[in-house]
Amino acid sequence: MRDLWLFARYHVVHIDRPAWRRFFLALFALSFAFFLALYSALLRETGRLRWSFWSAVISLVLAGVVAVRVVPYLARRTALERWMIKVEFEFTREGVVYLGLIGVIAIAALNTGNNLLFIILASLLAGILVSGILSHIVLTGLELEFVLPDHIFAEQAMISRVALANQKWVFPSFSVTVEAQEDKKKSREPAGRDQTRRILDQAVYVPYVPRRAEVTQHVEMTFPRRGRYTQEGFRVSTKFPFGFLRKSRVVALTREILVLPSIKPTEEFYEILPLISGEVESHYKGRGVDLYAIRDYQEGDTSRHVDWKASAKVQQLKVREFTREDERRVVLVFDVRLSRGDEKSLAQFEKGVNFCACLAWHFYEINAQLQFMCDGLETAMTSAGEIIYPALEALALVQPRTGVVDPHRNPLERVATAARGFNIIVTSQPRGSVPTHLWGTSYLVFMDSL
């Protein structure tokens, strides 16, 4: 008896009170709507057409509110929960017009009692029912795959792939749209910089997906800024077959990408690059280098490397080839310190990030020996191809630091105490704050000059 009492108490305590409250309110509303419908017919027979019209309108409004607001809510708490909970629906503009037409015909049918109008009304209501069932069938059994390239650069168009697979054995899917799921938490926040940082900003339309098949759509995308982009999920929707309802379901497919800084050379880059190249060549000019080999002269070789003794011996121009390690040992340093945090300084900081990324990519293309130093990252001196993407990833996430900075984290101090190669420093600090002995072994790019 005690167990039975505990079981009964458990179920009494866990009664779904809001659902029962809505159920009884819906029952009362439908009963009142039925009474108004009968009362409307009685008023019509007595000739009071105006009161009959308004009674019929109120009856339809009550029935419509129950059908739209209460019935789906109660269905989610029954055995239909597994069938309905994953699908959301909304009426389109065409659907609203269609519902208005149904209301007009319903009022006319109730006022006149014409059987033909009731048949037309039933056919129109059946269209809504068929639209809901078919659109639900279209959305079931769909699997989504969203593929992006391994490396994505800002301001550079790239191609992503959206694959939609239909796992149903019998039915195909028609008129499916894939778009980003809106984050309700972020939509309530004030408009900010990070609010627009979602991956898929455009809808992808797939007209037809055969049964047991996969359809792939290629989408061209461009990300305007560097940084981290996240996508919490995707929404798959359809308006098939009549366009009265838009049914959608959420696919929990989380994606997170890192957009690297733009490596597209700017006018400032083309102006400064020859100066940097000249400084590097002047720094290493006259330094002893190891002889690598003596080879035949090729068009474009400089006359400084012609080996005249070997050429006279074999009666053919020979050129000395030296190891390139000492010629192109470059230390690329990006200083994250900012004296001010206003919009102009932040814009110059972004230009400095892009300029540093262009420099790193340039040394990667010429296969130079490169070391990269930034806030939180210091690579070894090695081939630029081995560190180019870690360096660009660090630049993609780097943020400016204002105020007092720890001296041990000052990249200029670390560069000044270690002679690894020729230094290229991108900084926003005043010219007088740069250590004096760095000027002879470094080329400084000040962000305010970009």
Cβ atoms within 10 Å, residue 307:
17
pLDDT of residue 325: 45
> Which of 287 and 161 is assigned the larger pLDDT?
161
pTM, to two decimals: 0.67
Token representation of residue 199: 């991956």
Confidence band for 184, pLDDT divided at 50, 70 and 90: low
The C-alpha atoms of residue 77 and residue 86 are separated, in whole angstroms, by 13
> Which of 71 and 249 is assigned the larger pLDDT?
249
The C-alpha atoms of residue 406 and residue 279 are separated, in whole angstroms, by 30
pLDDT at 354 over 70: yes
Cβ atoms within 10 Å, residue 395:
21
Confidence band for 414, pLDDT divided at 50, 70 and 90: low
pLDDT at 406 over 70: no
142-260 is classed CATH 3.30.565.10 = no
The C-alpha atoms of residue 60 and residue 68 are separated, in whole angstroms, by 12
> Which of 236 and 87 is assigned the larger pLDDT?
236
Token representation of residue 147: 């593929």
**Residue 232: DSSP 8-state:** -
> Which of 240 and 81 is assigned the larger pLDDT?
240
Please compute the mean of the pLDDT values over residues 172-194 and round it to a whole number: 66
| Fold match between domain 142-260 and domain 267-287+326-449 | no
pLDDT of residue 403: 62
pLDDT of residue 326: 45
Please compute the mean of the pLDDT values over residues 210-233 and round it to a whole number: 88
Please compute the mean of the pLDDT values over residues 69-98 and round it to a whole number: 67
pLDDT at 157 over 60: yes
Comparing 41-50, 135-144, 229-238, 371-380, which segment has the lowest mean pLDDT? 41-50
Comparing 6-15, 73-82, 127-136, which segment has the lowest mean pLDDT? 6-15
Dmax over CA atoms of the chain, in Å, equals: 128
pLDDT of residue 440: 72
Residues facing 229 on adjacent strands: 257
> Which of 24 and 122 is assigned the larger pLDDT?
122
CATH class of 267-287+326-449: alpha beta
pLDDT at 260 over 90: yes
pLDDT at 219 over 80: yes
pLDDT of residue 95: 84
Please compute the mean of the pLDDT values over residues 120-127 and round it to a whole number: 84
> Which of 346 and 311 is assigned the larger pLDDT?
346
Please compute the mean of the pLDDT values over residues 307-335 and round it to a whole number: 73
> Which of 98 and 190 is assigned the larger pLDDT?
98
Report which secondary-structure segment, H or E, holds 44: helix 17-45
pLDDT in tens, 268-296: 888 888 887 777 766 665 444 555 567 78
Cβ atoms within 10 Å, residue 111:
18
428 and 402 in contact (C-beta within 8 Å)? no
Please compute the mean of the pLDDT values over residues 20-48 and round it to a whole number: 76
62 and 29 in contact (C-beta within 8 Å)? yes
Let me know if 16 is exposed, middle or buried by CB neighbors in 10 A (0-12, 13-18, 19+): exposed
pLDDT at 404 over 80: no
pLDDT of residue 284: 60
pLDDT of residue 194: 43
Report which secondary-structure segment, H or E, holds 383: strand 382-383
Cα-flanking dihedrals φ and ψ of residue 64, to 5°?
-65, -40
Confidence band for 321, pLDDT divided at 50, 70 and 90: low
pLDDT of residue 172: 92
The answer to whether the peptide bond before residue 390 is cis (omega within 30 degrees of 0) is no
Which among 388, 401, 392, 394 has a CA at the least distance from the CA of 427?
401
pLDDT of residue 259: 92
The rounded Cα 98 to chain-centroid distance in angstroms is 36
235 and 251 in contact (C-beta within 8 Å)? yes
Cα dihedral 111, 113, 116, 120 sign: positive
> Which of 233 and 289 is assigned the larger pLDDT?
233
422 and 282 in contact (C-beta within 8 Å)? no
pLDDT of residue 210: 92
State what percent of residues in the chain have pLDDT above 70.
Answer: 79
> Would you kindly state where each structural domain of the chain is located, as residue ranges?
16-87+95-131, 142-260, 267-287+326-449, 289-324
| 3 state SS of 2 | helix
Please compute the mean of the pLDDT values over residues 351-362 and round it to a whole number: 90
Comparing 47-56, 63-72, 216-225, 257-266, which segment has the lowest mean pLDDT? 63-72
pLDDT at 105 over 80: yes
> Which of 259 and 286 is assigned the larger pLDDT?
259
Computed over every residue of the chain, the mean pLDDT equals 77
Comparing 47-56, 78-87, 114-123, which segment has the lowest mean pLDDT? 78-87
Please compute the mean of the pLDDT values over residues 371-381 and round it to a whole number: 83
The C-alpha atoms of residue 154 and residue 227 are separated, in whole angstroms, by 9
pLDDT at 1 over 50: no
